[in-house]
Amino acid sequence: MALCLLPAWLRAQSPEPVWAALAQSRQIVVVTAGDWSATNGSMQRFEFDLLRWHPVGPCLPVVLGRNGLGWGIGMHPPHLSGPQKREGDGRSPAGVFRLPYSFGYAPPEAVRAIRLPYIQCTASVECVDDTNSAYYNIVKDRRSVEKVDWKSSEKMRLADDEYRLGVFVEHNSGPAEAGGGSCIFLHIWKGPGVPTSGCTAMSVGAMESLVGWLDPRSSPVLVQLPLPEYERFQQEWRLPPPSAPEGAGSGKESP
């Protein structure tokens, strides 16, 4: 997918009720954590078939931001009760978000099994986290920009494997609210129990399985919440039954 076309994928927050927006999806990635401050959580995939959600694969461990979770900006109502995510706060966004495209280090011809639009992360590809930039919260190849107007960004080609494979989370997109938080991904973790700066990370195997499963024709979404909030909104938003978090709640590394 050409980088210049990315803004077409960064759609505005849905004005519909959450349940109506989710009714358009046939794939949900559910991440739950014990509470707002937890840095460990669990991920369960679901597919909609025959009038209900069916779990796909096992419930797998993930790690969250170093300061837990905070309400992000997505398909859910704004200003819900609880911590609110802001730029640089070390929180992963809570709420409901579209999963529009994937990225990785390999060239496109080497990842033909991936069905989501795919961006190869080269040395010039960055995610802009400068709140004053016109490209705030957009993954951009700086070579394609006539004038680079940002002073800070997230390099998408790292020296390690964290971004070797990942998925963009459509938090605070189209248009982005300055300071609302940026550059949120699902990606490979540094290791079990090692929190992120605000993304959701998992093992290599979990990431490969997830990216291979996601299908743009199914309008995949991420539902990411502390377990008490998930249970609070489950019926109203018509979510699948929650899976019990593994090692989530204390924020400490699981044994």
Q: What is the pLDDT of residues 183-230, one digit of tens each?
A: 999 999 999 999 999 999 999 999 999 999 999 999 999 999 999 999
Q: What is the pLDDT of residues 143-180, one digit of tens each?
A: 999 999 999 999 999 999 999 999 999 999 978 999 99
The domain locations on the chain are 21-237
Q: State whether the Cα torsion 24-7-212-197 is positive or negative.
A: negative
Confidence at residue 8, expressed as pLDDT on a 0 to 100 scale: 39
Q: What is the pLDDT of residues 92-133, one digit of tens each?
A: 999 999 999 999 999 999 999 999 999 999 999 999 999 999
